[in-house]
Amino acid sequence: MPKAAETILEIDLNALGHNYRYLTSKLERNTKVLAVVKAFGYGSDASAIAEELVDLGAAYLAVAYANEGVSLRDTEIEIPILVLHPLPANFNIILNRCLEPSIYSRTMLKKFIAFAEKNKQKLYPIHLKFNTGLNRLGFRKEDIPFIVETLSKTQSVKVQSILSHLAASEDENERNFTLQQINSFRNISEKLIEKLGYRPLLHTVNTSGIINYPEAQFDMVRTGIGLYGFGNDPEENKNLKPVSTLKTVISQIHKIEAGETVGYNMGFKAEKPVRTATLPIGHADGISRAFGNGKGWVTINGQKAPIVGNVCMDMIMVDVTNIECIDGDEVVVFGENPSVEELSGAINTIPYELLTAVSQRVKRIVYRK
């Protein structure tokens, strides 16, 4: 790759392939993969990522909302797409673009069946989500009789899969809780299948579940963050490669004398002469204001340059007193150094938040290293 000449997000498809192959190496031969590409592909480029995942062999894609599925269909993605949080306002879009809704409540089931019948659908694929402990979305075990009775009265829909979501599959201290969730999901699924008279796909594990609970693969696994290079564990991260690298450049270098200040509200005051570099990236690009005043940093010519003063909307200033650099030099905001884990830890957050915060105004460059 040529050096950055502006703020860019590099997306390495070879790294994606490496991560996919590593995760699928842990699966039984017949286990299907549902790849999660919501939130612009975890802040990268959903369409480019989805196209690569189809080529790699993913059986399903998942998005959070219907409009994300539409964007994928617009780029001629044809494999099934699960919408994890459909809303009745988007049922028409879901139907028109052949998206498959995750149905999680009695109200949602009744509304979607009524919509499907009105539109003369037959055996339209739906997915039933059960709450086994995350307490976010999902039917409960007690809803099974209602589900079965409701489905018995219509031919408009057919259950394509039964799913749940693990709350703490990365946390060894919560192993008993996770095992309870898996057992609960197994029991719910068995009861529902017995009453349905056919067997939908079953899936409950996420990236950390693939790694830590191989016995719970069922028919399909879901992986999101792992595809993008993070396994929710420092040791597992060594086996994965970050897909996204955020870069920018030095716009201008300043000599700051002792007593002078830098940035809004005089966020930094020099105690001795320093050199600062201004970079064309700010909180509108995804650099949280929490990184200001030395909590965050970038890498310039292999050296650490702490953020000076407050993060601006479109710019940050960094300390380059001890770094040989000039206007136009490339700057690594995150990638291999600094890593997303390191930066997220500096402000007590998680890699998901940093990755998905990268603004859509940042230019994406998709490549194979």
**pLDDT, tens digit (0-9, with 9 covering 90-100), for 156-184:** 999 999 999 999 999 999 999 999 999 99
pLDDT at residue number 106 = 98
What are the backbone angles phi and psi of residue 182, rounded to the nearest 5°? Answer: -60, -45
Which of 230-239, 270-279, 315-324, 334-343 is predicted least confidently? 230-239
Q: Please state, rounded to an integer, the average pLDDT across all residues of the chain.
A: 97
Q: Residue 205 — very low, low, confident or very high, per pLDDT cuts 50/70/90?
A: very high
> Which of left, alpha, beta for 321 (phi over 0: left; psi -120 to 50: alpha)?
alpha
With a cut of 90, say whether residue 234 has pLDDT above it: no
CB 9 within 8 A of CB 246: yes
Handedness of CA 314, 319, 324, 326 (dihedral sign): positive
Helices 46-56 + 66-74 axis angle, to 10: 70
Q: Residue 232 — very low, low, confident or very high, per pLDDT cuts 50/70/90?
A: confident
What DSSP string describes 298-332? EEETTEEEEEESPPPSS-EEEE-TTS---TT-EEE
Cβ atoms within 10 Å of 219's Cβ, excluding its own: 17
**Annotated catalytic residue within 264, 269, 363, 367:** 264
CB 354 within 8 A of CB 346: no
Alpha-carbon distances, residue 20 vs 27, 36, 203, 217 (angstroms): 11, 12, 18, 16
Cα–Cα–Cα angle for 297, 298, 304, rounded to 5 degrees = 80
Structure token digits, residue 294: 């030395």
Note the pLDDT tens digit of each residue in 69-102: 999 999 999 999 999 999 999 999 999 999 999 9
Note the pLDDT tens digit of each residue in 301-318: 999 999 999 999 999 999
With a cut of 90, say whether residue 139 has pLDDT above it: yes
Residue-wise burial string across 262-272, b where 16 or more C-beta atoms lie within 10 A, e elsewhere = bbeeebbebee
Q: Under DSSP, is residue 171 helix (H, G, I), strand (E, B) or coil?
A: coil
Alpha-carbon distances, residue 238 vs 37, 142, 206, 225, 233 (angstroms): 22, 42, 18, 14, 9
- Known catalytic residue at 264: yes
With a cut of 80, say whether residue 8 has pLDDT above it: yes
Note the pLDDT tens digit of each residue in 349-363: 999 999 999 999 999
DSSP state of 139: B
Q: Residue 49 — very low, low, confident or very high, per pLDDT cuts 50/70/90?
A: very high
Note the pLDDT tens digit of each residue in 272-299: 999 999 999 999 999 999 999 999 999 9
pLDDT at residue number 156 = 98
Alpha-carbon distances, residue 107 vs 116, 120, 221 (angstroms): 14, 20, 27
Q: Domains, the chain, ranges and CATH?
A: 13-229 (3.20.20.10), 244-367 (2.40.37.10)
Of 76, 82, 23, the C-alpha closest to 51 is 76
CA distance linking residue 197 with residue 192, whole number of Å: 9
**60 exposed, middle or buried (CB, 10 Å; 0-12, 13-18, 19+)?**
buried
**Annotated catalytic residue within 38, 129, 241, 247:** 38
Look at the block and give the residue holding tokens 């930066």: 343
pTM of the model: 0.96
Percent pLDDT > 70 in the chain is 100
With a cut of 90, say whether residue 1 has pLDDT above it: no
Alpha-carbon distances, residue 154 vs 92, 247, 357 (angstroms): 19, 54, 43
With a cut of 90, say whether residue 262 has pLDDT above it: yes
